[in-house]
Amino acid sequence: MIIKASQRTGARNLANHLMNTRDNDHVTIGEVRGVIGQSLHAAFLEMDASAHATRCERPFFSVSFNPPKGEVVNEKDFERAFDQLERKLGLDNQPRVIVYHEKEARRHAHVVWSRIDIDKEKAIHLSHFKHKCGDISRQLYIEHGWDMPKGFERKQEKDPFNITVSEWQCLKRQSIDPREIKGQIQDAFKQSDGLNGFKYALEEKGLFLAKGDKRGFVAVDHYKNVYSLSRVGGIKAKELKASLGSPELLPNMIETNKKIRTIYNNQALKKIAELKFKHEDMLAPILKKKADTLKVQHAERRELKERQKLELRAQVAAGKARYSKGVKRIFDFVSGRSKRIQLINHKELALLHKRQIKHRDQLVKQHLEQRKNLENKKLKIKSSQRVEREQLASIVQQLHRSVEVHKSSKSIRKEEHSQKRSLTRDFVRKAKRKSTEVENNLKQKKNFVPKLER
């Protein structure tokens, strides 16, 4: 599984992010260890308070564990991965919080450790933690027999899609899918063989190539959103330079925005808005079915949670009932019977815990299958919608080019007509001048009187 880690601060923001039920279908707290507070906000505030005795500015070590697409990992395998990373980084027995997220028919986990060693009153130094996370990730791919990403096998083939979480969330808030933009840029780059070809291919998809203010090559959509070809498009800077040359040949942002305003006039924007409303209507039944499915799934999760709580209480009560009362309890302690009862209770609780985890995993797998069917239908609709958006962008470009061709031909005809008129005027002017000269010559000859010889 892919492991991404960062050292960070902000207890409340981190808790709000992990408990986000707007973007996630299900949020489950798997474990809260080493702190008194059992809610995320209370646990993180307690971890943050322990850092006040140190100079540590980023007391949290936040890690996400993302299994490959289509793989369902149970809690036991997740916890084994957490423990492996914990031992490798030297975070054994540190306070930690485990949260499971489910969205888009996929399940992933977030683990947050406290970096503060309370006994020594200092932060644990995590040297080269990204390389260590990569080693554990590669090891997990081998253990589970998953197809390893090319970037793990050869570093040169690593996906350069380095968009940050904040940039991703910013685009999602604008109803822009970064993966769609990435696909459009890469498709245009593959089918082009130079700067002009790439520029033309991007315009057919509703994007415009320009010279960025901070980065060399950028793409701009009709809403004037700017996308870096290397970060959002996932194309290496060396490949861009080798194929496209220098960005100085491209128009700057001001010129590009003027061009966009010319092409995407009120009529074109109206067509785009109509298509957007049409796509929203197409997705509405799927989204309604998703909401109904999630409502049922949440009820089933609550029912299972309550049932397991009752099972645990009954098991604890049955364990307590095994102990003798009064004076007999002393004899049981001396004879070793209490110790045997304690071992039996621990064994039964461990079996119950294992059985409950198995039931939770089965329910999660069942719910993911239900969501997977809906997700496949949604992706199919979105794929057709993407084609329609690209077709509309192509039509807008063709209309603009035809208008430009008409304007250029009209200007050429106008210029030819003006040239003809100027030639005619010159001819008439010359003819008049010639006739005037002839008349003057005739008058001079008529008035000429020859001198007589004496």
Q: Which of 123, 136, 116 is nearest to 63 (CA)?
A: 136
CA dist., res. 206 & res. 220, Å (int): 9
The answer for 8, left when phi > 0, alpha when psi is -120 to 50, beta otherwise, is: beta
Q: Which of 277, 177, 181, 173 is nearest to 232 (CA)?
A: 181
Q: Which of 173, 269, 176 is nearest to 219 (CA)?
A: 176
At residue 29 the predicted structure's pLDDT band, cuts being 50, 70 and 90, is very high
Q: Which of 100, 92, 105, 94 is nearest to 75 (CA)?
A: 100
Average pLDDT (306-323) is 92
Ranges of each domain in the chain: 2-157, 165-263, 267-404
Place of tokens 């027995």: 93
* The pLDDT value given to residue 398: 79
At residue 408 the predicted structure's pLDDT band, cuts being 50, 70 and 90, is low
Place of tokens 């089965």: 362
- Say which amino acid occupies 436: T
Q: Which of 306, 316, 291, 290 is nearest to 360 (CA)?
A: 306
* The pLDDT value given to residue 330: 84
Q: How do residues 147-184 score in pLDDT, each as one tens digit?
A: 877 666 555 555 555 666 666 666 666 567 777 888 88
Q: Which of 249, 235, 253, 254 is nearest to 192 (CA)?
A: 235
CATH architecture of structural domain 2-157? 2-Layer Sandwich (3.30)
* Residue 96 CB-half CA count within 13 A: 21
At residue 232 the predicted structure's pLDDT band, cuts being 50, 70 and 90, is confident
Largest Cα span, the chain: 182
CA dist., res. 323 & res. 328, Å (int): 9
**Cβ proximity of 218 and 228 under 8 Å:** yes
Q: How do residues 105-123 score in pLDDT, each as one tens digit?
A: 889 999 999 999 988 888 8
Question: Which of 157-171, 259-273, 300-314 bottoms out in mean pLDDT, i.e. has the lowest?
Answer: 157-171
pLDDT higher for 202 or 344?
344
pLDDT higher for 428 or 322?
322
* The pLDDT value given to residue 238: 81
Please tell me whether the overall predicted TM-score, pTM, comes out greater than 0.75 for this model.
Answer: yes
**What's the mean pLDDT when you consider all of the chain?**
83
* The pLDDT value given to residue 454: 42
Does the pLDDT of residue 308 top 90, yes or no? yes
Average pLDDT (320-326) is 87
Torsion angle defined by CA atoms of residues 37, 38, 40 and 42, in that order, rounded to the nearest 10 degrees: -20
* Beta-carbon count within 10 A of 5 CB: 20
Average pLDDT (280-286) is 89
Does the pLDDT of residue 364 top 80, yes or no? yes
Average pLDDT (196-222) is 82
Integer angstrom CA distances of residue 376 from 305, 320, 363, 370, 383: 29, 50, 20, 10, 10
Does the pLDDT of residue 193 top 90, yes or no? no
Cα four-point dihedral sign 121, 122, 123, 128: negative
Does the pLDDT of residue 301 top 90, yes or no? yes
Determine the length of the chain.
454
* The pLDDT value given to residue 101: 93
Does the pLDDT of residue 307 top 90, yes or no? yes
Q: Give 262's contacts (C-beta < 8 A, 6+ positions apart).
A: 400
Angle between helices 337-446 and 75-89 (to 10 degrees): 80
The answer for 326, left when phi > 0, alpha when psi is -120 to 50, beta otherwise, is: left
